[in-house]
Structure 1
Amino acid sequence: MKNVMINNPLTYGNIKYSANNIDRLIVFDKEGNQLYLENSPSIEMRVTHRNGKKYIVYFDTVILENDTLKGGRSRFIQGLTRQIPMDSIVKIEVQDGGKKFNYKS
């Protein structure tokens, strides 16, 4: 994990949090083509459970701890996380949520 700072699109301040150290992902589009997706604070990860429920977390906050996937649910409320057992996951999708978050230097 590394400490990062991003802009707050709702105010003039910044948001600080711990992010994973992943630079880019190898993903497959809907047609099955392999692509590279650069990590950014606007990348979202949608996790689908066996029961059909879907949860969204920000990808740069996701970590795997033992048999549990953990990730941040909000940029504005620190500590609001989701913990998902790996054996309950049937599908993981990533997308650029289009939100105006950018890493600050």
Structure 2
Amino acid sequence: MPVMNFRIQWPDGSEANCYSPSTVVSEFFTPGERYAVEDFLERSRKALHIGSERVREKYGFACSAAMDQLSKIEADAERFMDEPGAAVTVIELG
């Protein structure tokens, strides 16, 4: 199963390297694009759940690393939920 990493920049300028067990994230994110925090969260949830399910289909169990990554994204995003216009930039997919 092809793994894909994606690098993001939070509204405060900090960066994070994120993991997906599948290339499905390329269907949800475009490098260089900015996404409102809420939109980024929704896209992350969809992409990482799909990736986890693809692992389940192939190996018989869900991908705990994808769910761990989603939990980290959700926790980090919480810091910016009350900031109007806060956006996450997808720096690269790879």
TM-score range normalised by the length of the shorter chain: 0.3 to 0.5
Say which structure is richer in helix.
Answer: 2
TM-score by length of 2: 0.44
Structure ranking higher on relative contact order (CA contacts 8 Å, 6+ apart) = 2
Say which structure is richer in strand.
Answer: 1
Q: Give the structure with higher Rg (CA).
A: 1
TM-score by length of 1: 0.40
